[in-house]
Structure 1
Amino acid sequence: MDNRPLTLRISLLGPLRMVGAKGDVLTPKGAKNQALLALLALSPGMSRPRRWIEDKLWSTFGPEQASANLRQALSKLRSALGDHADALRADRTTVSLDRKQIWVDSLDDVLPLDDRVELLQGIDVRDPEFEEWLRMERAALSTRIARAKPTPATGILIHCNALAEDPGRERMMGEILANQIGENISEQIRAWRQDRDLPDGLSNLPPSDVTISTQLVPDDTGHSVFIKAVHQSSGRILYSKLQHVDRLNDILETEVSVGKTVFEAADQIIGKLPQVLEGTRPETRATALSRLGLYRMFSFERSALREAYGLMKQAYDHDNNGVYLAWTALIRTIQIVELAEDDAAGLREEAVELHYKALESGTDNALVQALAAKIKGTALRDGAGFFELAKRAVERNPANAIAWNSLAEAHLFAGQFDQALAASKRASHIASTSPFKHWWDTGRCLIAIACNKPDEAIEAGEAATRSAPLSRPAHRQLLALYALQGDLDKARAVADKLTKIEPGFSLDRLVNDASYPVTTLRKNGMLEPIRALL
């Protein structure tokens, strides 16, 4: 597999500009040379036949002269690329760019929502074929920007109801469970729970987008609960599950297995909403963008974190929901911890500002509180604020795994190790069906390390790497833990894996670089056994 990083950044919005991996400006001189670069950058697969390019740039020339002009332009473009010359490829029939090395701003998911932005501003090629191509590309860009412009988000309507043989207590518990799922959804995206049991004179309501229903049936050892979520206009089932509860109070108290079901249901419903809701709705677009942003964020890779930041910002552009600001603040914090960017002070300042803005618009949102709590602890080192927000988030929604994770970290910050490990275990259990479960398992691994429980830490770390084989944070912990246990073969295997998945990794850096992100291992003196591998 070709794992070369993106080393060239081509800006086509405004005047053409090309920048190398070290920030060096590599923009070629000459309108035709710049046009050649733009034609390739915007072509399918960044590749075109030589004759097609010649027709766009030298349409008034004969074939032999056009071919000679193209050869000369390719030579000048290759010279401008310098150390990146291998990104330009040409044979007797085709010219292409290596798209695995190149990022192009106009192809990015995140576009500036400004009609005044012009593609290839100021370029003057003076060829009628190129001018026609440029006109079409500018029109396509304008259409994309128009479609991306946000309109006011009204929110997704969710109707929660319950069926029960006993219309009293059983129905009430069913409604509580359905509403817990609806609330979990409305914390993550703009959604409203809709009450349809209104007097006749007030019953002219807009149709619900989603109905979440529960049905409780008593059995020999408690109750069977059937949960179903349906997209109303299509009848598609978004989620269904049959579960047993020993006591009805398990629902009232959000016992851990109930919390797991609530979290799972909300997660799966949200994941499918962009597939069933009208794509032009801003909340649909914001949901899709934020969901993709989470997948990118939880990979912890440098380029993916940058993409996640852009996706969350665009989600907020579509729907001014404070939760997207809170996620963006967390992304900045992860970039600091993972040493993914150079300006740590600037990232910290931005994360703090974003978390304040998120709290202003999401004061009653448990997810916003939980994410903001992490910024309080990591960026501001405010232990009291950390614990207060995390505790409030858990009390507001005990089925929120992120809230439990924040509370676990707040306990750890305060030196309350037993409480930290208990809260972390609960968070991992609630989130055990999440596509991002490795994040909670990695958190549990770190807290077990802090509690000096290496066996529990290994169990959690291995769970994280099973669900996310390329997760660098979990592998870092396991390397040290295996060495600590004397299992040097396993430690070497993990070191080899890290060498492949983490650019710049080395055992020497892990052990001797105080800035390398293994703070908990270093504080607990668990890095020394790795020296046996050096």
Structure 2
Amino acid sequence: MYSDGHPFLRLIGPFAIENADGADVTPHGRRSKALLAMLALAPNGTRSRKWLQSKLWSTRGEEQGAASLRQELSEVRKSLRSAGLDLISTDRDVVRLDVASIGIDLNDPPEGSATRDLLEGLDIRDPEFEDWLREQRSQWPRPRTVPAKVSPVAAADQLSGQRSASLLNSSRLCLGLLRDARWTEGSANRAVSDLVLDLVVRSILNFEVVDVVDFQAQGPLTQAPDTALPDWLLQTRATVVGDVVGLTFALIAPGDSRLLWSHTDFLELADLTGPASLKLMSLVNQIVFSILEFVLDPKSIRDEPRHRASRLALTALRHVFRMRDKDLDSAERMLAEAYELDPRSTYLGWQLFVFVTRFGERRVGRSGTFHDQVRECANRAVEVAPFNPITLALAAHAHSFVFREYAQALELADRAIAANPLQAICWDMRALTLGYLGEVKRGYEDAMRARALGGPPLYRYCIDTTCCILATLNGRFEEGIRHGERVLAQQPTYLPALRYSAACHGHLGQTVEAVRTVERLRAWEPDFSLELLSEENYPIAGVLGVSVIKSGLSRITLPRYAP
């Protein structure tokens, strides 16, 4: 029984649920047990209806499977409520288990549990469920989590004798957090340090390439034989003097405490007054991207099998932003392999970005096969992690640009911003969607906010492209040209920036510049013409974009401009 008077869920050995008094209240149905187990093992206790349906009724049609899931949920709720438990909530898309109100044995496995099977004897005759259960059992026994209040030295002692391979995910890098031991709990310096560190960690975790372990540091970590330590330690120090706070971030080598990287910055205390502070958010993003760049650099640590998925994903992103066909193909393959090694939603999200890039560059046209591929990837990405802001933003981009499903795209983009308003990519994707919907003033504000926040360095030309597009749609043609120039300095052949930059020059009557830009565009898009803009398959979303480009280029004479 759970010591805090909560119900208790047993996943090690035969599945069981006990109420707060220790009485067995386990539902009788095998699928009821399986459904609860899958929710208990899910991130935040949440799974989409379609995901559950695909695991428990994969051999049935969609409508029949959905009906079976509704019936099973009704049976589970009825069984639990008869025992005084209300643990399941649902909406149209997802099913949730209230994991905050229930104890789970995996969080503190009893002695001897490593020799027992996970979900022992739970037999559901569905190949998808069997595959899922096999994967879960392959990860068992799972490592104990070091308690947050244990000092690093004590943590090392506690973990001694266990092999490092069992403590770290087989395909993830690991970052440990060190709190500033100079300041006592409750001091202003400690509060500021904790605030900023929490914001940094929140954004790092969104990228899903690094695991984070929190140590309440009192001194340097020491490593007992065969003890697993993080690959790096991140320490944040804050010093408040008057109205100014100095923030220092450092990456430290565990074991010998070597300083590997550091950065110091200063902010006014007023910049810390709320989460909407652009200065604070911009600094946090600067630190996040510096840390990710350092820890994912092959030179910064020896290569190990558990690093492969993270480094595949980073290498794939570098290939994506080179824009060439062979690089896009390589990126897609690497992201697919990374997902096989470590199924993270952002790897699917960046695959979506590859698909959308091909479409925007006219490397692929609208077709049933292409649409099916993109839709399947978008649905799967959101099902895997329905609350990851980067995944939601990239899915929003696919729904708006490829499918022109603007209402759904806007909902996803809004959810992305709510999940983490520090992620510039979320504001960028909402800006584009608003532009497609004709809400150009609000869209431009979002685009400029994304630019002020500072997205991932490789991605920033995309944000500048969005600024170029929204400035053009707002009639701010000189600003559109400036944004376009920044894009084309980094990506000289990027078609969206060339299209809108040419239109801006046309609206301003700058014939020479407009002709020159169109010639650059036609070097990569030989059939570009005013008529082409109106074709259904042409990759410009929203009626307003086509209209503004047409009206700009119609104002000038383009001798070589013909279908």
- Tell me what 1:38 maps to: none
- Tell me what 2:24 maps to: none
The alignment status of 1:418 with 2:441, answered yes or no, reads: yes
Task: State the AA in 1 paired with 2:190.
Answer: R
- Tell me what 2:289 maps to: 267
Aligned-partner Cα distance in 2 for 1:222–1:417: 38
Aligned 1:444-463 pairs, distance under 5 A: 444-463=467-486
The alignment status of 1:156 with 2:179, answered yes or no, reads: no
The secondary structure found in structure 2 opposite 1:370 is helix
Answer whether contact 2:178 2:216 (CA < 8 A) is retained: no
TM-score, with structure 1 as normaliser? 0.64
Aligned-partner Cα distance in 1 for 2:260–2:493: 29
- How far the C-alpha of 1:169 sits from its partner, in A, is 3.2
- How far the C-alpha of 1:528 sits from its partner, in A, is 1.5
- Tell me what 1:394 maps to: 417
Answer whether contact 1:339 1:517 (CA < 8 A) is retained: yes
Aligned-partner Cα distance in 2 for 1:455–1:483: 11
Aligned-partner Cα distance in 1 for 2:310–2:556: 44
Aligned 1:172-251 pairs, distance under 5 A: 172-197=191-216, 206-232=228-254, 239-247=261-269, 250=272
The alignment status of 1:529 with 2:550, answered yes or no, reads: no
Aligned-partner Cα distance in 2 for 1:236–1:355: 43
Aligned-partner Cα distance in 1 for 2:388–2:336: 19
- How far the C-alpha of 1:231 sits from its partner, in A, is 4.6
Aligned 1:330-349 pairs, distance under 5 A: 330-342=353-365, 344-349=367-372
- How far the C-alpha of 1:445 sits from its partner, in A, is 0.9
- How far the C-alpha of 1:417 sits from its partner, in A, is 2.2
Task: State the AA in 1 paired with 2:215.
Answer: R
The secondary structure found in structure 1 opposite 2:196 is helix
Q: Which moved more, 1:322-331 or 1:214-223?
A: 214-223
Task: State the AA in 1 paired with 2:251.
Answer: A
Q: Which moved more, 1:513-522 or 1:476-485?
A: 513-522
Residue segments in structure 2 that go unaligned for 5+ positions in a row: 1-168
The secondary structure found in structure 2 opposite 1:526 is helix
- How far the C-alpha of 1:328 sits from its partner, in A, is 0.7
Q: Deviations over 1:92-134 (max 9, x none)?
A: xxxxxxxxxxxxxxxxxxxxxxxxxxxxxxxxxxxxxxxxxxx
The alignment status of 1:366 with 2:384, answered yes or no, reads: no
- Tell me what 1:110 maps to: none
Aligned-partner Cα distance in 1 for 2:301–2:199: 22
The secondary structure found in structure 2 opposite 1:435 is helix
- Tell me what 1:16 maps to: none
Distance change >3 Å, CA 429–CA 237, structure 1 → 2? farther
Residue segments in structure 1 that go unaligned for 5+ positions in a row: 1-150
- Tell me what 1:280 maps to: 304
Answer whether contact 1:330 1:351 (CA < 8 A) is retained: no
- How far the C-alpha of 1:356 sits from its partner, in A, is 1.4
Q: Deviations over 1:385-406 (max 9, x none)?
A: 3222212221221211111112
Answer whether contact 2:423 2:455 (CA < 8 A) is retained: no
- How far the C-alpha of 1:512 sits from its partner, in A, is 7.5
Aligned-partner Cα distance in 2 for 1:432–1:362: 21
Aligned-partner Cα distance in 2 for 1:516–1:383: 17
Task: State the AA in 2 paired with 1:327.
Answer: W
Answer whether contact 2:175 2:234 (CA < 8 A) is retained: no
Task: State the AA in 2 paired with 1:359.
Answer: V
- How far the C-alpha of 1:441 sits from its partner, in A, is 0.1
The alignment status of 1:434 with 2:457, answered yes or no, reads: yes
Task: State the AA in 2 paired with 1:347.
Answer: F
- Tell me what 1:33 maps to: none
- How far the C-alpha of 1:330 sits from its partner, in A, is 2.2
Aligned-partner Cα distance in 1 for 2:260–2:485: 31
- Tell me what 1:478 maps to: 501
Aligned-partner Cα distance in 1 for 2:201–2:432: 27
Aligned 1:134-149 pairs, distance under 5 A: none
Distance change >3 Å, CA 281–CA 185, structure 1 → 2? farther
Aligned-partner Cα distance in 1 for 2:317–2:325: 14
- Tell me what 1:84 maps to: none
Aligned-partner Cα distance in 2 for 1:393–1:280: 33
Task: State the AA in 2 paired with 1:186.
Answer: L
- How far the C-alpha of 1:187 sits from its partner, in A, is 1.4
Aligned 1:9-408 pairs, distance under 5 A: 152-153=170-171, 156-162=174-180, 167=185, 168-197=187-216, 206-232=228-254, 239-247=261-269, 250=272, 252-274=274-296, 275=298, 276-282=300-306, 284-342=307-365, 344-408=367-431
Distance change >3 Å, CA 225–CA 510, structure 1 → 2? farther
- How far the C-alpha of 1:239 sits from its partner, in A, is 4.7
Answer whether contact 1:211 1:231 (CA < 8 A) is retained: yes
Answer whether contact 1:160 1:175 (CA < 8 A) is retained: no
Answer whether contact 2:448 2:467 (CA < 8 A) is retained: yes
The secondary structure found in structure 2 opposite 1:460 is helix
Distance change >3 Å, CA 418–CA 292, structure 1 → 2? same
Task: State the AA in 2 paired with 1:157.
Answer: L
The secondary structure found in structure 2 opposite 1:156 is strand
Aligned-partner Cα distance in 1 for 2:365–2:440: 33
Answer whether contact 1:231 1:237 (CA < 8 A) is retained: yes
Count of residue correspondences: 380
Question: How well do the aligned residues superpose, as a CA RMSD in angstroms?
Answer: 3.2
Answer whether contact 1:296 1:305 (CA < 8 A) is retained: yes
Aligned-partner Cα distance in 2 for 1:514–1:377: 15
- How far the C-alpha of 1:423 sits from its partner, in A, is 0.9
Q: Deviations over 1:385-441 (max 9, x none)?
A: 322221222122121111111222233344332221111101112226713311110
- Tell me what 2:514 maps to: 491
Distance change >3 Å, CA 194–CA 260, structure 1 → 2? same
Answer whether contact 1:510 1:518 (CA < 8 A) is retained: no
Distance change >3 Å, CA 432–CA 531, structure 1 → 2? farther
- How far the C-alpha of 1:157 sits from its partner, in A, is 3.4
TM-score, with structure 2 as normaliser? 0.61
Q: Deviations over 1:471-495 (max 9, x none)?
A: 3321222122112211122223323
- Tell me what 1:32 maps to: none
- How far the C-alpha of 1:343 sits from its partner, in A, is 5.9
Distance change >3 Å, CA 336–CA 452, structure 1 → 2? same
Percent identity between the aligned chains? 18
